[in-house]
A and B are shown apart, each in its own frame.
Chain A
Amino acid sequence: MLWLLQSGVMRVSEFISFIYSNLDTAAVATYQHLYLSFGSVLLGMLVAIPLGIWLTDKEKLAEKVLAVTGTIQTVPGLAFLGLFLPLLGLGVVPSMTVLFLYSLLPILTNTYTGIKGVSPALVEAGMGMGMSPRQLLFMVKLPLAFPVIIAGIRIASVYIVSWATLAAFVGGGGLGDPILTGIMTADINFILMGAIPAALLALTAGWILGIVERLAIPRGLRG
């Protein structure tokens, strides 16, 4: 037992000194990871939220679009990067494209179902007050659907932060780089240098967006 504890403490101290001497590499990889993941989630939001809103009164089309994004979601990440490599080559562009495509489904589904799920009585009430369709969207439907949309963004962010490690395969950088180096050289220090910040980023993103989700509930609906 004592031996285990001792070797554990040694491991940790060795890792800390390793990180300390490789701080630059870790910082660059974390920074790249952040812009890869948040850039692609942002792009995903810009496309999926308007698309989700637009689809709410086109049920047939919505089913098809959701089926397509659902299928995209099932394609393995590495296979996806492989499929895009002949078209987009290496680097940040193919990595972001793949991550962006993965972020679409949760945001799109939640925007669509969030707006669809707004109680018809509330929409009627808005109409009764003489709201135009635009006012109805911005003053009733969107605020009510907001927590659900944020939940979609949260789910997408947590996944994307974890999957962004795959960018290392195509030279896109990020925290996958040290992990890949660690695998090639069988060095646990490099693996942890990528894995720990990546897991922490995913947990932090989930935690912060979870808070935003609760704050986004309109005042009149808080229990």
Chain B
Amino acid sequence: MGGILTLTVEHLVLSAAGVGLALLVGIPLAILITRYRAAAGFTMAVTDVLQTIPSMALLAALMIYLGLGNQTLVVTLMIYSLLPIVRNTYTGIISIDKGLIEAGKGMGMTRWQLLRMVQIPIALPVIMAGVRVAMVTAIGIATLGVLIGAGGLGAPIWRGMQIVDSSMILSGAIPAALIAIICNYGLAKLENAVVPRGMRVSSPAKS
């Protein structure tokens, strides 16, 4: 049983690492393309195409260049997490009521203040919805990590399938399903919690 707990924690850490890296790259990228709209369509198209590559294939292709192990899995998870994060940050920021931006400008806010004090707080629930989708997807893809020698709950599932041992499969499949459901639920709660106080009329919690 101890083994399963360790694998579960490892699974969560790997997934969170991929999503975390995607946040570090994706949020600045999304903010950048709200300022240079011409690049937005192109960026979205690229992330869209990346999304259609089957995860197993991308994992395998990256393995050839990055080698076996956790680092390859984390890079793969980052790539798949980019789309929901970039898309939601971008649409979250550009769909803010123009009046609110004007109000900020009228108060003499600099571009940076406007971003930090108006745009990001208002877009935060939408950004969080992107993070939720990214995290659930990452937990799913991380189960494939076993193929390239990464850790996590894929190992008991994969080994159980090889030797047709149901209880071994379930010892990986049940915790993997549970953490995905729990993360989805918890992050949805967080999504509602980050709605700025002044804006709590209806929450735009749409993925």
Contacts and interface: CB of A to CB of B under 8 A. Distances in A.
Contacts of B181: 71, 74-75
B26 interface: no
B60 A85 contact: no
A49 interface: no
Contact of A162 (B55, B61, B184): B55
B180 A165 contact: no
Nearest to A174: B54
Given A75-B181, A79-B177, A198 B57 contact: yes
B37 to A, nearest CB: 22
A27 interface: no
A148 interface: no
Contacts of A74: 136, 180-181, 183-184
B57 A79 contact: no
Interface string A180-218: 101100101001101100110011001000000000000
Given A179-B60, A188-B64, A82 B157 contact: yes
A26 interface: no
A162 B60 contact: no
B170 to A, nearest CB: 7
Interface stretch (B96-104, B122-130, B138-146): B138-146
Interface string A160-179: 01110110111000011001
Contacts of B52: 158, 161-162, 199, 202-203, 206
Contacts of A203: 49, 52
A176 B56 CA distance: 8
Given A86-B166, A169-B161, A191-B60, A76 B54 contact: no
Most A C-beta atoms less than 10 A away, residue of B53, B60, B164, B169: B60
Given A71-B181, A82-B161, A86-B169, 7 more contacts: A75-B177, A83-B174, A85-B164, A162-B51, A165-B55, A175-B54, A191-B64
Interface of A: 71, 74-83, 85-86, 158, 161-163, 165-166, 168-170, 175-176, 179-180, 182-183, 186, 188, 191-192, 194-195, 198-199, 202-203, 206
11 contacts: A71-B184, A76-B141, A79-B140, A83-B170, A85-B161, A86-B170, A163-B54, A165-B54, A195-B61, A199-B49, A199-B54
